[in-house]
Structure 1
């Protein structure tokens, strides 16, 4: 994209974001990604940044062009002045009065020199301030670039955590289905079989004379049955 023209002379139809370099019809409706990308050199900085090599080259060439134009104009005027033929006629130049002694005001000269020194010192301070501003701007751009990368990494990790959480929920739901299936098997199959077995064992706990072989057998069976039910209900005896 050319930079040697003014905004009114630009032939581009769309506007270009100076930060991300995206071209769009209306910058007010543009959602900038805040990722710096120069439209001139594709570098990681704003398009109007002074550190852009293309901008630096253009400014240097423009300065040299202005200086060369000024020097060329001065030399052309001097050449034109010297090329004219002038003829000296004493009658056209009356004698000048006697020269008067020129007095130099030392205080005025010193004041002017002091002002020039102050101006040079001020310009040096301004230059230092501009360099600091450019350095701070570069640091801020680097900070924003690092922050965007960190935010992208954080967002990616959050997405991974959400995916892992959803996978855990699926596994837990599957285990819950298996537990429910096993509970149904114990409730509808195992427990009835155990009841039948305990009833049968109680009927054969009698000797040939009709006496009870083990007096505590029925109590033990009932205790074991209660323990099984409480274990199923997550209760302690």
Structure 2
């Protein structure tokens, strides 16, 4: 149960759970209680935890030994002697490979990619043309709608003008009818009435009793005759 050796070097027969610290025959069949207990120090953490004081001490001691062995290791004299006897000779090194030919072999995949790029470019141009035509068509529709609106307004004005003409004709007929009524009926009636009033305004000798009344009656008769002309 001590640390510092591999599993195949362990002399313990049973396996140990690193979580609860229980020893069992087969870890695959182990039902762990999930209660952590270190097998090194007995504290409530896993046995492989770096918080364990025993594990910390072991790591410190191991690091110290490694550093000491590296600092006090003697130099390799054989390697140094070999380096001293090395003589540089250009013939010992191979020549660099010849440059590759500048003519590239025709790759079918590259040809297909070029064709695909050209097709995509054609599709892009076609879409741009369609977009331009669509914009023109929208402008045409908008203009046509505006023309229809103007045409509808002109038709409305024409209809209003026709209705106005009809109203004028109706009012003219109405005025003519009243004018005829006034000229043929009312004016003769007023003339007879004024004549009767003028006779009543005379004395036995035929002189007017009220000169102003006679003048007013004559003026009214003249005005009515002018209206009938």
Q: Shared fold by TM > 0.5? A: no
With normalisation by structure 1, the TM-score equals 0.41
Q: Which of 1 and 2 has greater Rg? A: 2
Q: Higher relative CO (CA 8 A, sep ≥ 6), structure 1 or 2?
A: 1
With normalisation by structure 2, the TM-score equals 0.43
